[in-house]
Amino acid sequence: MTAMARLEGRIAFVTGAGSIGPGWGNGKAAAVLFAREGAAVVCTDINADAAEETAALVRQEGGRALALQGDITKAEAVEAMVARACKEFGGIDILHNNVGTLELGGPVEASLESWNRVMTINVTSMFLTCKYVLPVMVERKNGAIVNVSSVVAITSVGPHYVSYSASKAAVNQLTRAVAIQYAPHGIRANAIMPGLMRTPMVEKTLGAGMSSDEVEAMIRRRDAACPSGRMGDAWDVAKAALFLASDDAAYVTGQILAVDGGLTLKSAAF
């Protein structure tokens, strides 16, 4: 735990807290960082082993964590996980939505099944977590929701993935709608738009079918496209999430924060 302990006494419900591959995904890094700042963390993931791996990391550092497996695109699963979290820790103060997927293709190339799958995972999941967590926060008269969106909600970064772009734009507006409705209840809702990132999900999705040399070449191109000269990583997103979840952002709601190394200030062509 850090000296500041900005989340001391809080309970954080983190979705997608596992990682799709070796390394640090956004949810995994956020769960560990929240715990380091004093929060008890509910680590949820569709992969039970991945959820437990993150929870174990928290416990190894002396934090409190509960690992829960479930599909958060299913209402009954979300309702059960929220109930379990409340039973274990007494409530939920922070909801951090990290679950997301990316599938390539424009409106002609992408199948209807692909479109529906991306929208369900990226948007419906956040609707459902809000649906079941918000009543808990209303009862507590306090809460912070942090949703992970993407800069593709407002711009293009190269590949064509119409469902991903549309879903992330929906996440932004979902966040604003929740923020204005629940501000009178002491609940804040904000979103983070990561730019070009180097995470296990991105490498697995965009690097599918590539050789190791091709993947490295892709990474170099993406690094060069960033004004900062490098892609961001999960810790960049986690630190932004910590700010938005903490009392440092007590008067911040309905905001969409780009964490992109300046990418949205320029046109990325690569």
Joined tokens for residue 209: 């079918």
Residue type at 209 in one-letter notation: G
Q: Are 193 and 259 in contact (CB under 8 A)?
A: yes
Active site residues: 164
Residue 232 · residue 195 · CB < 8 Å = yes
> How many Å apart are CA 267 and CA 270, to the nearest integer?
10
Dist. CA 12–CA 31, nearest whole Å: 8
Burial letters for 177-206: b for 16+ Cβ neighbours within 10 Å, e otherwise? ebbeebeeeebbbbbbbbbbbbbbbbbebb
Question: 232 near 222, Cβ under 8 Å?
Answer: no
Distance CA 164, CA 56 (A): 31
Instruction: Report the side by side order of strands in the sheet with 11-14.
Output: 65-69, 40-45, 11-14, 94-97, 143-148, 187-194, 256-259
> Of 64, 33, 82, 90, which Cα lies nearest the Cα of 246?
33
Total residue length of the chain: 270
